[in-house]
Amino acid sequence: MTGQPNEPNSPGGQEDATPARASRPLAASLMTFDLAAEAAALRKEGPWLQHGRNALTLAKYADLRIVYMLMKAGTRLPQHHATGRISVQTVTGHVRLHLSERTVELPAGHLLALEQEVQHDVEAIEESTILLTLAWPGEEAGR
């Protein structure tokens, strides 16, 4: 899902502050999140109100990123791929991933792991919140 979420690219593990979103740490030895509170805040922002989807990077490390995404029913992330392996976990709602050879249903409580470079798109069947985890290959990959 590279490039799809509102993914900040600022150095030093800090998300760029915007008028609607304050800066906060993206990397620490321990972080916890209240996903219901995060979803409520995302529903107040422009991307949700204008386009029916919004995302927030929760954690950003050199080899791992965790993104929380909200999608209104009927919205879609166009076809894309990630350079590393990903997991997609539906927290609430129901999403569908379209792969070239098959379609995978992911209702709430389901998790999918996907190999790197696999083309896919994501469709929200109903209003949904999903956790996207992206891992990047590195020197330690495969050990």
Q: Dump pLDDT digits (tens) for 62-87.
A: 999 999 999 999 999 888 778 889 99
Q: Is residue 110 in a domain? A: yes
- For residue 68, the enclosing domain spans 35-135
Q: Is residue 8 in a domain? A: no
Q: Is residue 101 in a domain? A: yes
Separation between Cα atoms, residue 121 and residue 136, nearest integer Å: 19
Look at residue 130 in the predicted model and tell me its pLDDT. 96
Number of folded domains that form the chain: 1
pTM: 0.80
Q: Is residue 29 in a domain? A: no
Q: Is residue 20 in a domain? A: no
Q: Is residue 18 in a domain? A: no
Separation between Cα atoms, residue 133 and residue 84, nearest integer Å: 10
Q: Is residue 91 in a domain? A: yes
| CATH code of the domain in which 104 resides | 2.60.120.10
Q: Is residue 59 in a domain? A: yes
Residue 118 has pLDDT above 80, yes or no: yes
Separation between Cα atoms, residue 46 and residue 96, nearest integer Å: 24
